[in-house]
Homo-oligomer: A and B are copies of this chain.
Amino acid sequence: MYLSKLFIPLLKENPSEAKIKSHQLMLRSGMIKQSSTGIYSWLPLGFKIMKKIEQIVREEQNKIGAQELLMPTIQSADIWKESGRYKDYGEEMLRIKDRQGKEMLYGPTNEELITEIFRASVKSYKSLPQLLYHIQWKFRDELRPRFGVMRCKEFFMKDAYSFDISDEEANKSYNKMFYAYLKTFKRLELVAIPMSAETGPIGGDLSHEFVILAETGESKIFADKRIFEIELKESNNNESIKELRKIYDQFYAVTDDKFKKDEFDKKVKKENQLITKGIEVGHIFYFGDKYSKPLKCSVDLQDGKKTNVKMGSYGIGVSRLVGAIIEAKFNNNVMKWPESISPYDVAIIPSIKKNDKLNFTKAEKIYNFLRNNNIDALLDDTEEHLSAKFKKTSSRLR
């Protein structure tokens, strides 16, 4: 791509509404444009990065045997009434009446809909376990959207759901996802720590938030800092992932809501205590028959009895990750993109003088050579001064 052709509307000043770096840089470098409060258009540069993140998330889901499908954005209120959440969900749910007065809503999450799909299709234990996921736009009518794409109204998420016949089997599905998440974040060059999170009335230890460190994070983090040094070993069965989980479980790591000072001091030596802030980029959660029970989603077991399907849900904020990665990695006013998701592989910035096309011709030669070798290059063909070019073009690359 020639820079002069790239649709990349730069802003010279920080927009007043942008309080954190990622929001400022994304607006200034033309990655996004606000279309209304908390709702953004993704311009070519931002879109390209988000799509690369999406693809990495997808590949790691596919690797553990999860199957991709797609649920619509607009849902009927009926299934939410069945689960009991239609009343409970509150004002963050965007409620809609269609032209015939039917109550609809823009999905803020999809447990009900996936359970409905599953119960209509699967009747026997033989079809289990099953992992299904989708990557779709969701909507939450935030009262105070802020931090750009990190807490906005319309956002892009991967949501997976697991279906098993017993808690024990569900544990295996949970472990698969636990591992897939670690792999996903590693490919994004992020150190994302699985932190024990609240499990609600179900209890147990099957709820983890994946948090990356960033000064601007909304989550306060209390951890044994050695957890950041765990090496991710390739694991391909439940036993080896169980080992991996044990290693993580050795080290204390929780967010605000699970923090207890006594416990922290008891379990973590002073010199290993880390208190800092982070951004939640993923959440995995086992909730048993919380939805399958009210929605009557059961399967026949081998012995002829029926059981409610045991479910878990597994989310990654794809659009949020774009902002979160900037927060975790920026240096001054420069965004540092991991190679796996950088918008271009190479930027060529020739010093172009008027009436002397030599450098530009050389640059074009390099550009064409790279393109012919499937290396995605950006050629700065504008006639600005070299220092201005460096500033502009390098802010778009790692």
Min CB distance A343 to B, Å, is: 12
Chain B residues with CB below 8 A from A50, complex form: 70
User: Are B141 and A76 neighbours in the complex by a CB distance under 8 Å?
Assistant: no
Give the distance in Å from the alpha carbon of A65 to the alpha carbon of B98 in the complex: 38
Q: Mark A119-151, 1 if CB is under 8 A from B, else 0.
A: 011100000001010000101010100000000
Cα A122 to Cα B76 with chains together (Å): 41
Contact A41 B67 (CB under 8 A): no
Q: Find out whether the CB atom of A7 lies under 8 angstroms from the CB atom of B94.
A: no
A71: chain B residues at CB < 8 Å are 35, 41
Interface residues on A, range: 35 or more
A182 at the interface (CB under 8 A from B): no
Bound together, the chains give a CA A44 to CA B76 distance in angstroms of 22
Q: Is the CB of B36 within 8 A of A122?
A: no
Q: How many Å from the CB of A114 to the closest CB on chain B?
A: 9
Complex CA distance for A67 and B50, rounded to whole angstroms: 15
Could you tell me which residues of chain A, from 67 to 117, have a CB within 8 Å of some CB in chain B?
Answer: 67-76, 78, 91-92, 94, 96, 98-99, 102, 104, 106, 113, 116-117
Partner of A41, one of B47, B94, B113: B113
A interface, over-half SS: mixed
Q: Please tell me if A23 contacts chain B, counting CB pairs below 8 Å.
A: no
Are A69 and B42 touching (Cβ within 8 A)? yes
Using CB atoms, name the residue of chain B closest to A36. Answer: B76
B41 adjacent to A72 (CB under 8 Å): yes
**A214 CB within 8 Å of chain B:** no
Q: Which chain B residues border A44 with CB–CB below 8 Å? A: 67-69
* Cβ contact within 8 Å between A113 and B75: no
| Interface flags, A349-368, vs B, CB<8A=1, else 0 | 00000000000000000000
Q: Which of A7, A65, A75 has the most CB of B within 10 A?
A: A7
Is there a chain B Cβ closer than 8 Å to A289's Cβ? no
Tell me whether A6 is interfacial, beta carbon within 8 Å. Answer: yes
Q: Which of B7, B35, B74, B141 contacts A132 (CB 8 A)?
A: B7
> Taking the complex as formed, is A39 at the interface, i.e. its CB lies under 8 A from any CB of chain B?
yes
Assess whether B96 is in contact with A70, with CB atoms less than 8 Å apart. Answer: no
Contact B47 A70 (CB under 8 A): yes
With beta carbons under 8 angstroms apart, the residue of B47, B75, B153 that contacts A69 is B47
User: Within 8 Å CB of A74, what residues of B?
Assistant: 36, 39, 94, 106, 139, 153-154
Cα–Cα, bound, A111→B131 (Å): 39
Contact B36 A75 (CB under 8 A): yes
Q: In the complex, which of the residues A41, A65, A121, A132 has the most CB atoms of chain B within 10 Å of its own CB atom?
A: A41
In A21-75, which residues have CB < 8 Å from any B CB?
30, 33, 35-37, 39-44, 47-48, 50, 65, 67-75
27 of the cross-chain contacts (CB-CB < 8 Å) are: A5-B65, A6-B67, A7-B67, A35-B72, A35-B75, A35-B113, A35-B116, A36-B74, A36-B104, A40-B72, A41-B70, A41-B72, A41-B117, A43-B69, A43-B117, A47-B68, A47-B70, A50-B70, A72-B154, A73-B73, A74-B94, A74-B139, A96-B96, A96-B106, A99-B141, A99-B143, A106-B106
